[in-house]
């Protein structure tokens, strides 16, 4: 698994980007979204709060579940093989990352989304550099919201996180390839068995979009992977449609809930 460091080094901006960035910061200096102190360019996040973000340093290579020592397969994956081929989740879900994710998901905070996207971009670059991720996918498919939920929230947080990654790494973005066919109950307060029943048959593939994408390697992306039920069902749907390799990416992975 990728090991996000406390100090995150972002790639240097171009001359043009640097000018506009300096102008923007001169007019509106960055501030840390977590503690309110001065942020560090180009993120609204100070070094101390960045150091508090917990990296998912020891995990199952198949499902990214945090483990005492890294393993190719955890006990859960040995008992029930996931429908996806690999998982990438560079951070642990917990304080203070959960505050940024909540602001993005429910608080309509574009600034929080920008911070999260940049953290994810740095982690992905690191994973590619050290071989934790062997190859980029043909397309990124953000986990879709049902139309009813999308109208209520106004945007899909998974799509907002996927856009910068797709743009920076030159990956096709396919937000319409997977559809949510029915409005399901919120997963947060359900147990594992009820989660599986809740999501069963909740997705379908847009066959013309899949054919047009010519994608044999797809990543399904979400903000947080808790039990993995949503990502499993999405991956299973894509596999049944004929996609050869499906990986799941989440910014954060929750520890196993006993």
CA distance 64 to 101: 19
> To which residue do tokens 């093989």 refer?
81
Q: Which residues pair with 86 in a beta bridge?
A: 247
126: helix, strand or coil: helix
CA distance 253 to 197: 21
Give the pLDDT confidence score for residue 258 in this predicted structure. Answer: 47
- Of 144, 145, 137, nearest to 172 by C-alpha is 137
- Going by their DSSP bridges, the two strands 178-180 and 203-205 should be labelled as antiparallel
Domains (range + CATH), the chain: 57-253 (3.40.50)
* Contact status, residue 159 vs residue 192, Cβ threshold 8 Å: no
User: Cβ neighbours of residue 83 under 8 Å, at least 6 residues apart?
Assistant: 232, 235, 236, 239, 246
> To which residue do tokens 């071989």 refer?
131
- HSE (CB half, 13 Å, CA atoms) of 219? 26
Between the CA of residue 253 and those of 108, 119, 223, 236, what are the distances in Å? 22, 15, 9, 19
* Contact status, residue 88 vs residue 2, Cβ threshold 8 Å: yes
What confidence tier does 182 reach under pLDDT thresholds 50, 70, 90?
confident
CA distance 154 to 111: 16
* Contact status, residue 234 vs residue 178, Cβ threshold 8 Å: yes
CA distance 90 to 68: 16
Give the pLDDT confidence score for residue 13 in this predicted structure. Answer: 35
Give the pLDDT confidence score for residue 213 in this predicted structure. Answer: 77
The pair phi, psi for residue 215, each rounded to 5°, is -100, 120
The secondary element (H helix, E strand) that includes residue 224 is strand 217-225
Between the CA of residue 141 and those of 42, 71, 92, 97, 220, what are the distances in Å? 27, 27, 22, 23, 5
The secondary element (H helix, E strand) that includes residue 100 is helix 97-107
Give the pLDDT confidence score for residue 184 in this predicted structure. Answer: 62
pLDDT digits (tens, 9 = 90+) for 51-74: 999 999 999 999 999 999 999 999
pLDDT digits (tens, 9 = 90+) for 135-174: 999 999 999 998 888 888 889 999 999 999 999 999 999 9
Q: Tell me which of 23-32, 69-78, 226-235 is least confident.
A: 23-32
This prediction has a pTM of 0.82
């Amino acid at each position: 698994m990728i090991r996000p460091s406390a100090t995150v080094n972002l790639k240097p901006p171009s001359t043009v980007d640097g000018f506009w960035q300096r102008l923007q910061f001169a007019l509106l200096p960055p501030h840390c979204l977590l503690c309110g102190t001065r942020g560090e360019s180009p993120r609204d996040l100070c070094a101390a709060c960045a150091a508090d973000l917990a990296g998912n340093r020891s995990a199952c290579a198949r499902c990214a579940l945090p483990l005492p020592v890294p393993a190719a397969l955890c006990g859960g994956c040995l008992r029930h093989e996931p429908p996806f081929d690999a998982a990438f989740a560079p951070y642990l879900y917990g304080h203070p990352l959960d505050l940024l994710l909540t602001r993005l998901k429910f608080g309509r905070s574009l600034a929080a989304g920008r911070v999260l996207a940049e953290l994810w971009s740095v982690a992905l670059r690191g994973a590619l550099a050290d071989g934790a991720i062997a190859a980029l996918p043909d397309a990124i498919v953000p986990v879709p919201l049902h139309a009813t939920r999308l109208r209520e929230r106004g945007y899909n947080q998974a799509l907002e996180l996927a856009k910068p990654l797709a743009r920076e790494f030159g990956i096709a973005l396919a937000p319409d390839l997977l559809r949510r066919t029915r409005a399901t109950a919120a997963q947060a307060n359900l147990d594992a068995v009820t989660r599986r029943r809740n999501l069963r048959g909740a997705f379908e593939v847009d066959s013309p979009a899949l054919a047009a994408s010519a994608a044999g390697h797809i990543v399904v992306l979400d903000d947080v992977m808790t039990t993995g039920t949503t990502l499993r069902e999405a991956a299973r749907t894509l596999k049944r449609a004929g996609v050869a390799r499906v990986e799941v990416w989440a910014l954060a992975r929750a520890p196993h809930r006993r």
